[in-house]
Structure 1
Amino acid sequence: MHLIITEKHDTAKRIAAILAENKPKKERISGVDTYQFDGRTVIGLSGHIVEVDFPKNYNNWQKTDLKDLIYADVLTTPTQANIVTALRKLGKEAEHLTIATDYDREGELIGVEALDIVKKVNPGVSADRVHYSTITPAEIKKAFTDPTKIDFNLAAAGESRQIIDLIWGAVLTRFLSLSSGRLGDKFLSVGRVQSPTLTIIVNREKERDVFVPVPYWELFATLVNGGEFRAQHIKGRFLDKAEAEQIKAKLGDTGIVKSITRGKRSEKPPVPFNTTEFLRAASTIGISAANAMRIAEYLYVNGYISYPRTDNTVYPSSLDTKGIIASFLNTEFNEYARKLLSGELVPTRGKKETTDHPPIHPATPVKRSELKDDEWKIYELVVRRFFATFAQETLWETMAVTVDISGEDFRANGARLIEAGWRWYYSYNVPEDRILPVLKEGQSLNVKEIDLVGKETQPPSRYGQGQLIKIMEKHGLGTKSTRHEIISKLYSRAYVHGNPLQPTKTAYAVIEALEKYANTITKPDMTGKLEQDMDEISEGRITEDYVIKESRDMLGGVFKDLFKNKELISESLRNGLYEDRIVGTCQKCSSDLIIRKSKKGSRFIGCSAYPNCNFILPLPRSGQIVVTDKQCKDHGLYLIRILNKGKRPWDIGCAHCNFNEWQKKLGEEKKATKEKK
């Protein structure tokens, strides 16, 4: 029997349907669906079916010496018992095994994990590997006619990441959680990639905190004569209001067109989608990085788009780009496909070229009615970007006008789209035309209105998810496959909320403690070095054992700094975490109102002066509580947001306002009950 192993059940089902001449027979083995045909059996895993962990004697956080944990043994244990059992049963009968998991570091490791399980029950089984980037009949059949060798170095690189992340995460998380007294489900998560990423967010917020706005003024003239337009004084910003007012006072009712400069400006079409640019683009249409990747994975498994985890921005010559475009004839993209096919197809090229997977591109057409709304949005985004990479430049006609008003120059700029080019295909965030009237030099214009507008400089903006992923890539934090997961973890740990990302007081407390006493953890240098090492493992230059030892030694040095400053870190964390619980000021006694827990575990807002002051407000029973920086105008309390995994954030607002509404409702219900009686 020939055993084929895929990464997921849906992939197994689809590949079996493609390879089988007749409909494959579904057979359930140990509770797992498998697909059998022509002496072959296809089984889908559930991602990793084993995990790395420490021996059980290290499970107790309080009793474990963290110095021992740094150099503790790491075991591999099954996590999907039914799949492992099914693999063993099938493995005993297998003469040959083909790994058909996703072709990347993680996929190679998942395949090797399955192979190791089979080898234990069938040491003599032969094995090979197939690579594919789209789950389409043509590519799957081609892949299985040309199998290759398993890349054990690539799998070792994936395993080293798992082990390193386990050790760093466990040691640092336990240390900070124990130091702060935050145990149970409120533990303080720290990670090799997570912490430097959070540092980037916190440092941007600190820039905003210390930012002092500077007032400035802008002077505008509204001009009319055959058309109306607005021009700005050529100086732009005035930092001295008196200077701006002095100029305004001398301006007359007439302006003369001093100069007109006409020109053309072109925009080059975008480069093909790699994962980072895809996630950034998805963010601009309102889809989070984690959700965009989940949808892209679904579209890939169903054969609609290519593999969504890639660094490549150059289409390989082997990719039938013309055939892909032609497949969209007679679909709702027919007009675009026909236009492209009428000319020469020369795609743009990005700076990154790799040989594992092509850039993200559509694989087969699908009808809008067959997908959910967000799925269609992502699919359409991929199709339009693909088309745009073959399109012509966008061309704008520009016009710059200078008008003299009483010896002061005012400038207006206009732009008009004259050739849509690639923007016709990729119709997202298209700038609007700024049309100026027909003018000629020396023409007299009437000054309809003069406006002196007061403004303030703005703090640096917070990072959106797409922007943060780009920064993570620049600093070597995480990989194309993990960056969106790191951001999701920051949300789930209540370190950040909103988009753009805003750090909580807990995030401040953790990062400030780490930066002060063990700043190696907060910098991307160490993580970048380990990422490089993992690349070298995959290329066979160094061994997995060498990198894991190097990583343990690095962590040992970091831990020395932490342990030396344990008391100071504990004090710093406890003070910072207390601030994160403050909701406002008690109206009864002016003490802090803080989030508290009763002996029975229920949560409420209570006065820090208890038992002298017993003021309380109720809180929802479940979900992570985030105290935002916005305040209620009536009660001065900070507004509250509740985070529940897998659900949208619930903005409950002011706890006092909610309590009053509840009391009012209770009163109305009692009154209604009395009236009935």
Structure 2
Amino acid sequence: MQWGYIEILMGYLRLRISFSYFNVQYFSSKVMRYLNVAEKNDAAKGISAILSKGASNRREGFSQYNKIYEFEAPVFGQISKMIMTSVSGHLLNYAFHPSVRNWQSCNPVELFDAPIQEVCLDDCKNIKRTLEREIRSCDGLIIWTDCDREGENIGFEIIKVCKEVKPNVAVYRAKFSEITGPSIFRALSTLGQPNKNISDAVDVRKELDLRTGAAFTRLQTLRLQKVFPGKLADKLISYGSCQFPTLGFVVDRYTSIENFIPEVFWKIKMNHTMKDFTTDFIWKRDRLFDKNSCEAILDICKESNIAKVESVDSRSKSKWRPLPLDTVEMEKNISKKLKINAKTAMKIAEKLYTQGFISYPRTETNIYPKELNLANLVQQQTNDPNWGPFAQRILTEGGPTPRAGRKTDQAHPPIHPTKPAPSLTGQEKIVYEFIVRHFLASVHKDAQGFETTVIVDIADEKFTAKGLVILEKNYLDVYIYEKWYGKEINNYEVGETFTPSTLELTEGNTSPPKLLTEAELIALMDKHGIGTDATHAEHIDTIKTREYVGLHENVYFVPGTLGMGLVEGYNNIGLEVSLAKPVLRAEFERDLKMICDGVKDPELVRREQTQKYKAVFQTVVDKIREIDNSLANRLDDRPVEVQGEAVIPQDFQRPVMKCPKCGGNMIFRNRKTSTGKFLSCNGYPNCKNAAWPSAAIESVEVLDDHCPNCGPETKKVKMKFKQNPFIGDPNPTILCIGGCDIDVLETLGISVASVRRQPVNGELYNRNHNQQLDQRVAPPPIQNDNYRVSNVQATQAQFDNTNVRRSSNLMPMSQHNRSNNSINNFSHQNPSSSSNPGHSPSSSDIVCQCEIEASLRTTMKGVNKGRKYYKCANSTCNFFLWAPNDLPVAPSTSTAPAGPSAGNVVNCRCSQPAKLMTVMKNNENHGRKFYGCSKPMSEGCGFFQWADQVEENQNNGNNDDPWGGGGGSGGANWQHGNTSRASGKSQTNKNNKPRAKPYQSNNQPRAKRKCGICGEEGHTRARCPNT
């Protein structure tokens, strides 16, 4: 038994070992697949060529500009299948919600809080498709974007797109500074994780730039186009939080020149000629602005007329070699010495980088890292015919000896060549040559010279002369962009005396500073923290493109009249910190740096900076006339007088509520084909949600107060009607159309689905007697603020103190043909009175807002002639109430069978016989009969009812339905003919039979109506928003 047990155990162990061996063999033989994504196609091509050693296979992606390269390479010690592709810069970008993208959609100040979304740029959609397709078959994702802020953010955009397809894909970050073999293989062997802090900083920067840029641009453009229509009517007047401080530097320099007042000065000129060589001496006082004083000193010197040498100081003099090259110095030097503007220089440098000729050109570092093999980089340049001998000289004279700077971004080394480039031509060759010569100069020796300084005394006035002898040019032999000239002077000895050859008074004038050059402007931006080394060139190019500045002699920046006027206007507004000054943006850049370092929370910075700029915006709006006046002076134009509201688009309407379809803003617009208003999402045409009230609305005012039932995003509206459909309400009246009061929606003919995504508290108020009334809108059992009904526990409909319609408020005429137990009957009864359907309170029961007995009166004219109502006896308040026993009742199919075959009459909402008509258009309803209001369209009530539905409802015996008739809007005039409104409801009659749904014939669903102009659903030709 014991041996048998041992044999079984040994067999089990052998089986486990075999299974483990199989697993190891299987998983070790599985080839991993990685999707590699670079920032540009050239970079992808170069990296794949290095990793594959030139053996990659190329295939096409969805984007013709971004190829796919396949090869094998070692990842984590295992040969893996690599798929390399690229994006073209940013793949995603922030954009406002469609509801506010149109300049006419909102007040610009709302853009500081408007919803934004991250969208794929149109040019990048095919790139996105490529990523989505390729990641499906891959086990990991390797990001090869540039290792700076923007590159990190682009990497996270790629990650987002890929994880939407494959959420659990492993993500890695390759970090490199040059596209060379050692750098790329080192990056692949040391894969890490992307830095979300850096990406978050870019997200915050992009959002703030979007909000501030859009808000101020719309403000400036919309306002100034109206104020100066003769000169700025078609001008886009843009704003950027880096753009304007940059413009401010140019304006400040120009203003200092413009305000400069020259002054006359005097100085004493002295020189000494010996053996036909003249030495010039400089007066230690330099110059005086008082001529008399200067003349007095000269007279004293002339009386003595003997110059005595007090000191002769001779010492070595060095001209320092340049520091290692960072981005700012590269832009400044190329602009100043090569006359290539900074934007062009950066484009060329980026191209040289992606081709592998230079290291990454966006760096703040001016210290060569210890691990960088400088000698090898110098050796690569020894074969060049222009600077090769100098490179060889460096190696033979002790090797590279660079100066050490003080800046490092801990990400990239200084800009340097990575390999020879003998085939380059044009500006690429010029820029590459500058980078090589700068690199070689930075690793060689300082130039050496010998300087002599002579100080002489004449009657206690000191004069100085300096001479320089160049001993060794060293780095200047290769750095042809700088010169160092020697200067000879006569030989002097201490104690020696001589008579000056010239001793006289000269006159001169002070001169203003020169206009800024691009190099000087970049230096100012860098000093004050405006933008980054990577964005300086872009901001400068923007102010040139917008014509805020121009170039004098193609070198010096001169502000245009528009740029001058804007900066002066902002400076005159009296802001604590002017938008044309660098302070605000510099603070923001410091916050972004702290986000990158993980010190500050990005959401906190986002909120603080947005509110800061919003407060500045409000101040600018309040004092916008300062900008008007400054521009009037600079444009030499008289401003047109406009109101402060000119900032807001002419047809701007405040949002009433959020769109239930897309989350945009619902606003009222003017109908184009007739008078009146309609409710529409301002995200059109992306969102086509709209509601077309049947009532003729003359004006709408969106109030600041929100509906307490619908929430803070739903505002109350003050409506004025051509003919008030709310009998007894004042005109204008205050309403909520957010869906909390279905009476209002039905009376106005507004579909619930167009204003509300889902019912509040689970249920919308419904008139069906089988459905319980929502307690949120139920009338209270005690008196309200305006009137009370004595001895009736269930009070009648109320008017609150804001005249907002409530669910139990007075209803239109056609809504009172219900049975007495309907929740909305005006004679709500307690149990003791339920047996008396005809019960109504006497006149002594009705008390108006003045707390006195209401007066019972009779209507003497109009459609309600003979009807009784209650009114304040003293006419001191606005109380009004129809007498409960005389509620307006419209004829209904529940009492008068509809349809021509029965010989009965269908009445419209005007209480007039409806007109039987036939559809004449050639569509699916051709020949179908319907009832409509007999009055002209501009005067009618808009009633509509299919004739066959009236007949069907009568034949089904639905006369006792508490809704007053058949499905759709048939029979029950309270539906106002808006058949589409009821189409989504599951309604049943008392026999539990489904109602006939609107637009349904022969039990076949009817297609939705489409507009005859644009082909879209939801409206007709007469209401097409595209006309």
Q: Which amino acid aligns with 2:179?
A: I
Provide the residue aligned with 1:9 in structure 2.
41
Provide the residue aligned with 1:198 in structure 2.
247
Provide the residue aligned with 2:634 in structure 1.
576
d(CA) in 2 for partners of 1:26 and 1:96?
20
Provide the residue aligned with 2:55 in structure 1.
23
d(CA) in 2 for partners of 1:184 and 1:99?
47
Does structure 1 residue 35 correspond to structure 2 residue 79? no
CA contact (8 A) 1:253 1:448 kept: no
Question: Residue 102 of structure 1: CA displacement?
Answer: 0.1
Given the superposition, is the C-alpha separation of residues 239 and 5 from structure 1 closer, same or farther in structure 2, using an over 3 Å criterion? same
Question: Residue 257 of structure 1: CA displacement?
Answer: 6.7
Deviation string, structure 1 residues 10-68 (Cα, Å, up to 9, x no partner): 11111111111443222122233222223322112111122211122222324421221
The runs of 5 or more residues in structure 1 that have no matched partner are 582-677
d(CA) in 2 for partners of 1:45 and 1:87?
9
d(CA) in 2 for partners of 1:537 and 1:363?
32
d(CA) in 2 for partners of 1:110 and 1:359?
23
**Pairwise mapping of residues 123-522 of structure 1 onto structure 2 (< 5 A)?**
123-181=167-225, 186-221=235-270, 223-232=272-281, 234=283, 235-241=285-291, 247=298, 258=309, 260-285=312-337, 286-332=339-385, 333-342=387-396, 343-367=398-422, 370-402=423-455, 410-439=463-492, 453-498=506-551, 499-517=555-573, 518=575, 519-522=577-580
Q: Which amino acid aligns with 2:584?
A: M
Provide the residue aligned with 2:13 in structure 1.
none
Among 547, 561, 564, the residue aligned to 2:622:
564
d(CA) in 2 for partners of 1:118 and 1:13?
21
Q: Which amino acid aligns with 1:284?
A: K
Given the superposition, is the C-alpha separation of residues 242 and 139 from structure 1 closer, same or farther in structure 2, using an over 3 Å criterion? same
d(CA) in 1 for partners of 2:384 and 2:535?
35
Does structure 1 residue 544 correspond to structure 2 residue 586? no
Please state whether the residue corresponding to 2:280 is helix, strand or coil.
strand
Question: Residue 522 of structure 1: CA displacement?
Answer: 2.7
Moved more, 184-193 or 566-575: 566-575
d(CA) in 2 for partners of 1:248 and 1:376?
61
Please state whether the residue corresponding to 2:136 is helix, strand or coil.
helix
CA contact (8 A) 1:504 1:580 kept: no
Given the superposition, is the C-alpha separation of residues 191 and 418 from structure 1 closer, same or farther in structure 2, using an over 3 Å criterion? same
Question: Residue 520 of structure 1: CA displacement?
Answer: 4.0
Given the superposition, is the C-alpha separation of residues 455 and 115 from structure 1 closer, same or farther in structure 2, using an over 3 Å criterion? same
Please state whether the residue corresponding to 1:263 is helix, strand or coil.
strand
CA contact (8 A) 1:227 1:437 kept: no
Does structure 1 residue 116 correspond to structure 2 residue 172? no
Please state whether the residue corresponding to 1:551 is helix, strand or coil.
helix
Provide the residue aligned with 1:67 in structure 2.
109
Moved more, 34-43 or 127-136: 34-43
d(CA) in 1 for partners of 2:277 and 2:460?
21
Given the superposition, is the C-alpha separation of residues 473 and 404 from structure 1 closer, same or farther in structure 2, using an over 3 Å criterion? closer
d(CA) in 2 for partners of 1:241 and 1:233?
18
Please state whether the residue corresponding to 1:521 is helix, strand or coil.
coil
Does structure 1 residue 81 correspond to structure 2 residue 158? no
d(CA) in 1 for partners of 2:401 and 2:349?
26
Q: Which amino acid aligns with 1:290?
A: K
Please state whether the residue corresponding to 1:458 is helix, strand or coil.
coil
Moved more, 209-218 or 486-495: 209-218
Question: Residue 280 of structure 1: CA displacement?
Answer: 1.8
Q: Which amino acid aligns with 2:352?
A: L
Question: Residue 403 of structure 1: CA displacement?
Answer: 6.1
The runs of 5 or more residues in structure 2 that have no matched partner are 1-32, 73-80, 640-1027
Moved more, 404-413 or 500-509: 404-413
Provide the residue aligned with 1:103 in structure 2.
147
Q: Which amino acid aligns with 2:98?
A: K
Deviation string, structure 1 residues 88-137 (Cα, Å, up to 9, x no partner): 22222222211100001100111111221122222232221101101112
Please state whether the residue corresponding to 2:432 is helix, strand or coil.
helix
CA contact (8 A) 1:495 1:504 kept: yes
CA contact (8 A) 1:26 1:35 kept: yes
Provide the residue aligned with 1:584 in structure 2.
none
Q: Which amino acid aligns with 2:61?
A: I
d(CA) in 2 for partners of 1:137 and 1:455?
62
Q: Which amino acid aligns with 1:267?
A: K
Moved more, 122-131 or 234-243: 234-243
d(CA) in 2 for partners of 1:377 and 1:241?
52
d(CA) in 2 for partners of 1:177 and 1:64?
14
CA contact (8 A) 1:5 1:12 kept: yes
Given the superposition, is the C-alpha separation of residues 473 and 451 from structure 1 closer, same or farther in structure 2, using an over 3 Å criterion? same
Identify, as 1 or 2, the structure richer in helix. Answer: 1
Moved more, 284-293 or 243-252: 243-252
Q: Which amino acid aligns with 1:555?
A: Y
CA contact (8 A) 1:233 1:408 kept: no
Given the superposition, is the C-alpha separation of residues 17 and 184 from structure 1 closer, same or farther in structure 2, using an over 3 Å criterion? farther
CA contact (8 A) 2:569 2:629 kept: no
Number of aligned pairs?
A: 579
d(CA) in 2 for partners of 1:479 and 1:410?
46
Q: Which amino acid aligns with 2:89?
A: G
CA contact (8 A) 1:223 1:230 kept: yes
d(CA) in 1 for partners of 2:59 and 2:568?
56
Deviation string, structure 1 residues 210-241 (Cα, Å, up to 9, x no partner): 11111224444554332422414524324345
**TM-score, normalised relative to structure 2:** 0.53
d(CA) in 2 for partners of 1:114 and 1:419?
54
Moved more, 216-225 or 385-394: 216-225
Structure ID, larger Rg: 2
Question: Residue 162 of structure 1: CA displacement?
Answer: 0.9
Question: Residue 168 of structure 1: CA displacement?
Answer: 0.8
Deviation string, structure 1 residues 397-425 (Cα, Å, up to 9, x no partner): 11234567899765432212112233334
Among 58, 70, 91, the residue aligned to 1:49:
91
CA contact (8 A) 1:157 1:544 kept: yes
Deviation string, structure 1 residues 587-629 (Cα, Å, up to 9, x no partner): xxxxxxxxxxxxxxxxxxxxxxxxxxxxxxxxxxxxxxxxxxx
Given the superposition, is the C-alpha separation of residues 233 and 536 from structure 1 closer, same or farther in structure 2, using an over 3 Å criterion? closer
Question: Residue 171 of structure 1: CA displacement?
Answer: 0.7
CA contact (8 A) 2:568 2:627 kept: no
**TM-score, normalised relative to structure 1:** 0.79
d(CA) in 2 for partners of 1:421 and 1:529?
43
Cα RMSD (Å): 2.9
Deviation string, structure 1 residues 340-387 (Cα, Å, up to 9, x no partner): 2231544211111332111112211222xx223332332222222222
CA contact (8 A) 2:382 2:391 kept: yes
Given the superposition, is the C-alpha separation of residues 355 and 218 from structure 1 closer, same or farther in structure 2, using an over 3 Å criterion? same
Please state whether the residue corresponding to 2:534 is helix, strand or coil.
coil
Deviation string, structure 1 residues 314-361 (Cα, Å, up to 9, x no partner): 111111112111222222322222222231544211111332111112
Given the superposition, is the C-alpha separation of residues 440 and 137 from structure 1 closer, same or farther in structure 2, using an over 3 Å criterion? same
